[in-house]
């Protein structure tokens, strides 16, 4: 019990330290742009869209913080229901389609139309979206990202496979740790919490999540959900 409380307090301290660092940058950017607007140094037409983008960054960071706090407290609310996986996969692929096209990355899906699982759709959609955006950051132009769904005996497996740079042992072991980023993504936009949140959501469903290097190159990240009865 004492050990669990100590780990929880350590996690909270780490979260506060991270928030004080990463929230400061977009706030400082917004402050500088507002001062430039007030002084007439920049035009509203060019500055307001950037301010709106910074607000979006802050909003995403705060959402991640709240979700991780709920996971840490064991207070994640799951509205479970039996549902098909195909519509969820289609929705996530549409969500990243524009970014994939801009990067020159192809998207594929192999999802049997009859596979059902018992899950909270909004939460699992966030998991899959996080995995897809992470794969996009690591897949070069002319590469491919594929989502595959497989019916197993008592669970359903969802995997995201890419043709990117692959995974070394450190990345495979640590990519679901909060705040950890592989070197190529350190400067990429994001809180560094997306995969940690994905793990928390999957485990709250009673599932597993893991990563592995693909023999033909690239990476595979997969998770399981309880199969529908």
pLDDT of residue 172: 81
The pLDDT value recorded for residue 188 is 47
Q: What is the pLDDT of residue 187?
A: 42
d(CA 121, CA 117): 10
Note the CATH architecture for domain 81-226.
2-Layer Sandwich (3.30)
Q: Is the dihedral of CA 149, 78, 197, 176 positive or negative?
A: negative
What does the pLDDT read at residue 8? 53
Give 77: exposed, middle or buried? Use CB within 10 Å, 0-12, 13-18, 19+.
Answer: exposed
For CATH 1.10.287, list the domain ranges present in the chain.
2-72
- The pTM of this model reads 0.78
Every domain of the chain with CATH number 3.30.565.10 lies at 81-226
Chain-centroid distance of CA 205 in Å reads 17
Q: What is the pLDDT of residue 185?
A: 44
**Rounded alpha-carbon distances, angstroms, from residue 195 to 148, 171, 176:** 18, 12, 5
Blockwise average pLDDT, block size 10, the chain, 229 residues: 54 60 74 89 87 81 80 84 96 94 96 95 94 93 97 96 89 79 50 84 95 92 95
d(CA 106, CA 139): 10
Note the CATH number of domain 2-72: 1.10.287
Please tell me the predicted confidence (pLDDT) of residue 59.
80
Q: What is the pLDDT of residue 47?
A: 87
At residue 77, the pLDDT reads 84
């Amino acid at each position: 019990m004492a050990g669990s409380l100590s780990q929880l307090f350590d996690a909270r301290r780490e979260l506060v330290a991270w928030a004080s660092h990463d929230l400061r940058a977009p706030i400082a950017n917004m402050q500088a742009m507002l001062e430039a607007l007030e002084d007439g140094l920049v035009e509203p037409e060019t500055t307001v869209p950037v301010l709106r983008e910074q607000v979006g960054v802050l909003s995403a960071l705060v959402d991640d913080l709240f979700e991780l706090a709920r996971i840490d407290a064991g207070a994640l609310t799951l509205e479970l229901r039996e549902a098909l996986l195909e519509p969820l996969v289609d929705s996530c692929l549409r969500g990243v389609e524009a970014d994939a096209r801009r990067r020159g990355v192809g998207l594929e899906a192999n999802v049997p139309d009859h596979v059902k699982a018992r899950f909270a759709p909004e939460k699992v959609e966030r998991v899959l979206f996080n995995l897809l955006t992470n794969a996009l950051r690591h897949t070069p132009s002319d590469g491919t990202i594929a989502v595959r769904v497989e019916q197993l005996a008592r669970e359903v497996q969802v995997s995201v496979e890419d043709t990117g740079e692959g995974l070394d042992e450190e990345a495979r072991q640590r990519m679901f740790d909060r705040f950890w980023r592989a070197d190529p993504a350190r400067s990429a936009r994001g809180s560094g919490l997306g995969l940690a949140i994905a793990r928390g959501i999957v485990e709250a469903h009673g599932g597993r999540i893991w990563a592995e290097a693909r023999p033909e190159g690239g990476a595979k990240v997969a998770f399981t959900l309880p199969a529908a009865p």
